[in-house]
Amino acid sequence: MSHPSADVDELSGDVPPTVPDVDRIVAHADPVVRNLQITHCYHRLSRALAARTGGWANWCTFAVWASKQVGQSIRQEDLARTLERLLKSSPETAARVELVARSLRRALPRRGLDDLERVVRRAVVATARLDAVSEATARGNLKVFEEIAREFARFLAEFADDAVADEQRIARFRDGLRPGEPPEGQDRLRRAFTRYHEAMSTADPKQRAELLLLANIEVGLHEQTRLQPEITAALEAPLVDPRALERRLFRLLLPDNPVLRWLRMALVIVLGRRGPVRVAGEQLADHVRAVARRAVTAHLMTLALPGGELLELDEDLPARFPPLLDRLSHPELLALLRVVDPTPDSLLDTAARDWSDLPDRMHYIADMFRCHAQRADLLDPPFTGEQVEAITSGRRPAGRL
């Protein structure tokens, strides 16, 4: 779905964050509040740059909604429920859960063990190290913001009053960025901000649209290259330790008898052998690793846009190119798309199959930037006024985020 570009007059009053503003957010200790402040800061940067480029979306515009989605992972919202749902829906998993339940019934024959399969599933979720997923996504959120938002703030401060192309000023700005390709170098950011600068000064709508798309993809490729370790860490984080699972199950099933719990665990240690609960738990833990990866993948590969629209990133984009970007002519843009888009001028096969695969996700991201380049509602605030007041005061706001 495409919408008209935003009203530039409406955006013109937006004051962009400064580099010290970005640095203050980076220094915030609470990852939940920091993520909310990052998302709000991206919103302010997005609108300030859009005011100078005809109301079109820039990289920060998409970063708002990506960061807001990442916030759900940082807060561990819905991830536990997604994992438990997948544990229930797989017959193969159900068989392994049943094996653990039977082992527990034999180990605790005199206990009333109702709905034991549900107890096992919840114990698996509780020991699946979902906090490590939260930590990895929080690291990635901070890593990208600390580097890229700072450069957008620096760029907007440098060219706040620049209505014409000034090669010397943009050259000085580029000199502040590290040479070389990512992950260590910032050549893609150098090229991107050069194109943003050109887009600010051109009066040709199609040229501006293509320059912005080129810049957005350059920043996106830099960002995604830098994020590769954190994405991999998030996908590989959920691991169930069979010993931790066994301890938790005994704590849940013998809550009032710590002595008996201790004797059962000590017996396993003294005899130097794995009991039937541990053996069944090991089989379940091996299987859960793949299930948990699917849960995290599903969580990372969903993007909520304004108006409640959900993009499932493992499905082809349900959109179309806006008229100004239907046929492209900028030579550098075409050259970059030959690198990142294996299906040029088509949305077929845009679905990402493996989010840990950089080329796979860049194919989707590049086409998403192109399809939604003129969506005015992407410039809408991600939070209510009351929530913004709490966020900027360093507090977790009430209500749905």
pLDDT at 223: 98
Name the β-bridge partners of 303. Answer: 311
pLDDT at 346 exceeding the cut of 60: yes
pTM for the structure as a whole: 0.89
pLDDT band at residue 400, thresholds of 50, 70 and 90?
confident
The Cα–Cα gap between 236 and 289 comes to: 8
The Cα–Cα gap between 160 and 12 comes to: 11
| ∠ Cα 98 99 102 (to 5°) | 85
Instruction: Write the pLDDT tens digit of every residue in 159-209.
Output: 987 656 678 899 999 999 999 999 999 999 999 999 999 999 999 999 999
The Cα–Cα gap between 67 and 89 comes to: 30
Instruction: Write the pLDDT tens digit of every residue in 291-310.
Output: 888 888 888 888 999 988 99
pLDDT band at residue 274, thresholds of 50, 70 and 90?
low
pLDDT band at residue 269, thresholds of 50, 70 and 90?
very low
pLDDT at 278: 84
Average pLDDT over residues 216-237: 96
Burial of 13 (0-12, 13-18, 19+ CB in 10 A): exposed
The Cα–Cα gap between 382 and 39 comes to: 8
Share of the chain above pLDDT 90, in %: 63
pLDDT band at residue 394, thresholds of 50, 70 and 90?
very high
The Cα–Cα gap between 231 and 218 comes to: 19
How is 203-235 classified by DSSP, letter by letter? --HHHHHHHHHHHHHHHHHHHHHHHHHHHHHHH
Instruction: Write the pLDDT tens digit of every residue in 20-44.
Output: 999 999 999 999 999 999 999 999 9
pLDDT band at residue 247, thresholds of 50, 70 and 90?
confident
pLDDT at 1: 47
pLDDT at 10 exceeding the cut of 80: no
- Residue written as tokens 């490590």? 132
4: its two tokens: 């008209």
Average pLDDT over residues 117-125: 91
The Cα–Cα gap between 337 and 331 comes to: 10
- The torsion of the CA quartet 31, 32, 33, 37, rounded to 10 degrees, works out to 90
